[in-house]
Structure 1
Amino acid sequence: MLKKLVLLSAIALSLSACLGGGSSEPTRYYTIAVENIQAPSSETFAGKSLLVRKFTIDQAYQRTNIVYRESAYDFMFYDLDLWASRPEHMITRVVSEYVEKSGMFQSVVSGNGSMPEYELSGHVNAIEEVDESSSQSAHLALGFTFKNVKSNTMLWEGKCDKNRSTDSREPRVTAEAISKLLAECMEDALQSIAKISE
């Protein structure tokens, strides 16, 4: 009987240690939100469909951990502050929403289905928090490609590399700043696409 009590006590202590006694920090998740932007007016692509292809991303950012840097040579990750999904997936979703809300195309698709007339693809070069000695900022760098699918013709190619100052190192503040930077990038991209005439 004594052996059983000792064994049960050991198991209880072991479980308590594994669970951390409820004192461990919780994991927090963040996402990129759609902001209000000035949509361009264009009749060029009215009645046409657009495929938003899943964005690619530099290998260093292929994770859900939020990246932060303290110099050009540092590359670090938060352990408990994570993106809700991989950055390239979130950016693809938000880009699709911006294009859909712009009303420039009759339909916007982001998967397999009927062949669209146009395609927008992109690459994420950087998505990070930058913590320098006296200031903090968010940094987002993207590349865009817009083409005619049928003729496989490149109609527009653009880059967007922006920083936004933040007043703290809170990952929530970084997520909000990244959202605003993506909004600026998409407003610029849609304005450029609207000027194309085929």
Structure 2
Amino acid sequence: MAPASRLSVDDWAMAALEVIALRGLEGLSVEGLARQLGVTKGSFYWHFADRAQLIATTLLVWEQRGTLDVIAHLETVEDPADRLRSLFDTSFGDEAHGLVDVAMVTRADDPTVGPVVHRVSETRIAFLEQVFRALGFTPRKAAIRARVAYSAYIGHFLVRRSLPDDPVLVLRTTDYRRQLLELLSVERPAGG
């Protein structure tokens, strides 16, 4: 991160995402964030008019880094099975990002958050559908598997948030990913 005297908009947004992962959107305050970054509120107001503008900017950073950049990287993986495995490893392996996703999804009824959550969810599900299609599933089965996979991802981190000390969720995330991949690959067409 840049020195406190030179914080960028991106620095503020990334710090906001850290807070959201720990305390949700309701835990995000200008004062708390400035304190965390070791700067005054004046530094915040140099970049943002108010908390609402910070949230709007943070949502765009979340969408770019947590969805668009991830998909762009995964599209370079040629084998669809490797692409799906890499997606699961990346997604389930990043607890902070998963907790941010849950915080955002649970605020989908918010007029600022909702449209971005909707767009992110649609983009992620569409990407999953493409992967399942590339694995040889019919459009219908690919659509269902995409939604099951996305629901399992969000559900995993929702349960993880509510049961932070659950030994299965804490110690067996790799097993969870493998089991989910196995379940989603059942009835995979021959040769696909």
Instruction: Give the TM-score taking structure 1 as reference length.
Output: 0.29
Higher alpha-carbon Rg: 1
Instruction: Give the TM-score taking structure 2 as reference length.
Output: 0.30
- Identify, as 1 or 2, the structure richer in strand: 1
Kindly indicate whether structure 1 or structure 2 has the higher relative contact order, using CA contacts under 8 Å at least 6 residues apart. 1
- Identify, as 1 or 2, the structure richer in helix: 2
